[in-house]
Chain A
Amino acid sequence: MTSGASRSAATPLAAPAAISLIGVGKSYPSGTQALDGLDLVVRQGEFLALLGPSGCGKSTALRIMAGLAAPSSGTVERHIGAADGASIGFVFQEPTLMPWARVAANVRLPLDLAGVGRAEARRRAEEMIERVGLAGFGRAYPRELSGGMRMRVSLARALVTRPHLLLMDEPFAALDEITRFRLNDDLLALRAAFGCTIAFVTHSTYESVYLADRIVVMSGRPGRVTDEIVVEAPGPRTAAFRGTAGYAEQCRRAFAAVAGAAAASEPR
């Protein structure tokens, strides 16, 4: 745990970029301008939160990082190898599991698609299922699990390839608060264990301050960066951190930044 805490504390804000979006714009054939001139850098090893009101293009930015959408203008620089499953893990807003496959087969999917041997894939999936706290559920079907457990399966599937970069699109938004807090803590523990870079889209200021080293605030119509907050967390991030004055103060700042961004993205 100490190594994790020191590692996250030591994440320099000047670390080399893992992925850079430079002047990225995205417009759709319908004429909607989702992003315009978006400059955004995800640094190696950091936990970056993309915070903004609904429809501000933060999910689009994440999809462009993943290579799932092509920018209409601007450039994307990846310093983590090609945009493929081995170096990028993606967690969707929904668990997005294959309902016909058992938990183990769902988690194993990226390894199976990459042609990893059966025994090896099975072992790695089993290990990752344990790491996300689902030991013994490998043979269950997604339908038999709660929403929080399904999201854990989704997380295990994203991490099973040990990606350099983990992209998460409001993954816990649909969960109840208790479940979300637990998953937040577990996500931080997994990050400490695996040391992957994380870009995390959320519209919750509390969640962003609790999780992130750095928060990028976006506003919509068209989506662009309006603010940036470096989160100061003196100790390890545990439930106690939520009770500190520093946490409350930073939540207030983040909230003000989002409120400003939301006002800026009101339809004119």
Chain B
Amino acid sequence: MRLGHGARILSWAMPVLAFAGALLAWDLVVRLNGIPPFILPAPALVAATLVSDWPILSASLWVTLRTTLEALVVATAGGVALAVVFAQSRWIALSFYPFAVILQVTPIIAIAPLLLIYLSPDAAVLTCAFVVAFFPVLSNTLAGLTSVDPNLRDLFRLNRASRLAELLRLRIPAALPSFLVGLRIAGGLALIGAIVAEIAAGSSGQGSGLAYRIVEAGYRLNVPRMFAALALISIAGVVIYGSLALLSHVLLRRWHDSTVARDG
């Protein structure tokens, strides 16, 4: 609200200018030093490669995106379901939460080779993406479900609300903001998980996602394509994060204070 019209334009223009400046600097470094494309391609060459290799890259982008989204959906469903179960019983939570923590703190790159032995490459990649995306959904949703305004809980108790009514009418709506924070983190992590697993799988000659293209292009010293695939991964990550942030804003704008603060 405090931002004037000019300031609002600047708040868009400044990052765009900074980004353009960085590209320009990159281009100048390549030109002035005469760096060959197989070491560092200029931004224009990366863009050209993106266009010329689009048939291959777009197919790979689709594979990676589908894995990421499938993993995100399963992680969201599983994380929310488990959080609801944990919120119902302290003992279940105490007993099983450590498993979730162990899964979270163990680097996924270390688990991937095992999963590739046990599962088909596609299933292994999906599982890796799921494992890393699952925990933020679980922990954030659980925190939301268990930190309800105590007065509101008293009100429900006073009105003899059943556990189910309390869950549906109080805990779940109250947990929505922190669930959405978890979802936003999970979206980024699902992509990372998918990429990491693809690299692990790709080195054994399987898979066809963007990370596999990077590994493959690396063997052939096709550095421009490596950069093009990398750019696609970054754009995919930004789009996923942006969509989830937008979803969060749409769901919460009517009632949650975080959406007010964002205007300021």
Q: Are B257 and A90 in contact (CB under 8 A)?
A: no
Q: Are B151 and A66 in contact (CB under 8 A)?
A: no
Q: Are B152 and A98 in contact (CB under 8 A)?
A: yes
Q: How large is the interface on B (under 10, 10 to 19, 20 to 34, 35 or more residues)?
A: 20 to 34
Q: Are B255 and A113 in contact (CB under 8 A)?
A: no
How far is B158's CA from A92's CA once the two chains are assembled, in angstroms?
12
Contact with B along A93-120 (1 / 0, CB 8 A): 0101011110000000110111000000
Q: Are B152 and A96 in contact (CB under 8 A)?
A: yes
Chain B residue with the shortest CB-CB distance to A96: B151
A34 interface hit (Cβ, 8 Å): no
Q: Are A98 and B170 in contact (CB under 8 A)?
A: yes
Partner among B149, B158, B176, B254 whose Cβ is within 8 Å of the Cβ of A85 = B158
Q: Are B154 and A99 in contact (CB under 8 A)?
A: no
Count contacts between A and B, CB distance < 8 Å.
Answer: 58
Within 8 A of B (CB), among A131-169: 141-143
Q: In the complex, how many angstroms separate the beta carbon of A183 from the nearest chain B beta carbon?
A: 19
How far is B261's CA from A143's CA once the two chains are assembled, in angstroms?
13
Given A68-B154, A85-B159, A90-B154: A98 and B254 interface contact (C-beta under 8 Å)? no
Q: How large is the interface on A (under 10, 10 to 19, 20 to 34, 35 or more residues)?
A: 20 to 34
Given A109-B169, A113-B165, A141-B254: A96 and B155 interface contact (C-beta under 8 Å)? yes
List, in ascending order, chain B residues with CB within 8 A of A94's CB: 151
List, in ascending order, chain A residues with CB within 8 A of B257's CB: 143
Q: Are A90 and B255 in contact (CB under 8 A)?
A: no
Q: In the complex, how many angstroms separate the beta carbon of A201 from the nearest chain B beta carbon?
A: 14
B97 interface hit (Cβ, 8 Å): no
Chain B residue with the shortest CB-CB distance to A110: B159
Q: Are B154 and A100 in contact (CB under 8 A)?
A: no
List, in ascending order, chain B residues with CB within 8 A of A67's CB: 158
Q: Are B255 and A99 in contact (CB under 8 A)?
A: yes
Q: Are B169 and A84 in contact (CB under 8 A)?
A: no
B256 interface hit (Cβ, 8 Å): yes
Interface centre among A63, A96, A113, A114 (most CB of B within 10 A): A113
Q: Are A100 and B159 in contact (CB under 8 A)?
A: no
A51 interface hit (Cβ, 8 Å): no
A21 interface hit (Cβ, 8 Å): no
List, in ascending order, chain B residues with CB within 8 A of A98's CB: 152, 169-170, 173-174
B241 interface hit (Cβ, 8 Å): no
A88 interface hit (Cβ, 8 Å): yes
17 contacts between A and B (CB under 8 A): A85-B158, A85-B159, A85-B160, A90-B155, A92-B151, A96-B155, A98-B152, A98-B170, A98-B173, A100-B255, A100-B256, A109-B169, A113-B165, A113-B169, A141-B255, A142-B255, A143-B255
Q: Which 5 A-B pairs have the closest CB atoms?
A: A85-B159, A96-B151, A113-B159, A100-B173, A92-B151
Q: Which residues of A contact B (CB under 8 A)?
A: 63, 66-68, 83-85, 88, 90, 92, 94, 96, 98-101, 109-110, 112-114, 141-143
